[in-house]
Amino acid sequence: MNYGMYLSAAGVQTSMHRQDVYANNLANVDTVGFKPDTVFLRERNVERLDGAFADVSPHELLEQLGGGHLAEPTRVMLTQGSLVQSGNPLDVAIDGDGFLTVRGENGQTALTRDGRMVVGPGGQLVMATTGAPVLNDAGQSITLDLNRPVEIDSTGAIRQDGLIVDQLGLVDVSDPAALRKEGNNLLSVESNASLTQSTARIRQGYTESSAVDPIKAMMAMTNAAKAVSANARMMQFHDNTLSELFGRVGRIG
């Protein structure tokens, strides 16, 4: 096996993965409530240990080269975005940790930081972007009177004419690493994580801007692209070396 070719190919693969993740972050720099993904790489053991060669005697040079890197599942970074006043009474932003609960496409509870809401024709409170029903603290949809103004206090209590009519479902996730993006600015939680009531504050009439830093995202994407090019050049170098070797061996034969 051409060990150098393998390491360079692994470098291309992981660097392209990094590039894709950072490009997606950059594309969502203006998405309300968006949380960027971050890439985790793990160092792979040398082939002697990670492959089928555990009984082979170690080779000092190959041991020093290592086994390259492998991409781990991306994780959602829960950095707080800035809060921007919108003036819309049905917009809410979460100040602190926590998520609003909505009903996802599969009928399961999904989480979001996008607090832009509207009241549908039947009085149901839904997400302005997707129409997904917003849930209360009991996991049920919220129905409001279309003819009365809506007030939402810092605890998420919804009032109409001064009376509490419902409570926004606001939760924390026990293990942020268990969050998985589902599209449409929604997240799901793996079964090994639990949801608890959040103590974050709600800001009515505000939205949370994307937590993506465009300059850092652009720099990270550029560095990943350079790593792709560098590893691709190394693959070409190994290929040329092999071609020259085979050509000389053929002439000798």
Residue 225 lies in a domain: yes
Whether residue 35 lies inside any domain: the answer is no
Same domain, 101 and 55: no
Together in a domain, 226 and 188? no
Report whether pLDDT(46) > 90.
no
pLDDT in the model for residue 62? 58
> 167 and 233: one domain?
no
- Position 23 scores a pLDDT of 94
Q: Which residues pair with 24 in a beta bridge?
A: none
Mean pLDDT over all residues of the chain? 86
Residue 220 forms part of a structural domain = yes
Q: Specify the pLDDT at position 20.
A: 92
Do residues 58 and 23 share a domain? yes
Could you list the residue range(s) of the whole structural domain that residue 188 is in?
83-208
Percent of the chain with pLDDT over 70: 81
Q: What pTM did the predictor assign? A: 0.78
**pLDDT for the residue 84:** 97
Q: Are residues 138 and 222 in the same domain?
A: no
**Domain identity same for 186 and 88:** yes
Residue 50 lies in a domain: yes
Whether residue 188 is found in the same domain as residue 123: yes
pLDDT at 170 over 60: yes
pLDDT beyond 90 at 8: no
Any domain includes 170: yes
Residue 78 lies in a domain: no
> Does 216 score more than 60 pLDDT?
yes
Q: How confident is the model at residue 112 (pLDDT cuts 50, 70, 90)?
A: very high
- Residue 23 burial (10 A CB sphere; 0-12, 13-18, 19+): middle
Q: Are residues 87 and 204 in the same domain?
A: yes
Return the structure tokens found at 243.
Answer: 């071609």
Residues 104 and 128 in one domain: yes
Looking at per-residue pLDDT, the higher value among 162 and 237 belongs to 162
Asked if the model's pLDDT at residue 207 lies above 80, the reply is: yes
Note whether residue 34 is domain-resident.
no
Whether 58 and 105 share a structural domain? no
Note whether 88 and 63 are same-domain residues.
Answer: no
Domain count for the chain? 2
Q: What is the pLDDT of residue 173?
A: 93
> Are 198 and 218 in a shared domain?
no
User: Over the stretch 51-83, which tens digit does the pLDDT of each residue have?
Assistant: 555 555 555 555 555 556 677 788 999 999 999
pLDDT at residue 215, rounded to an integer = 95
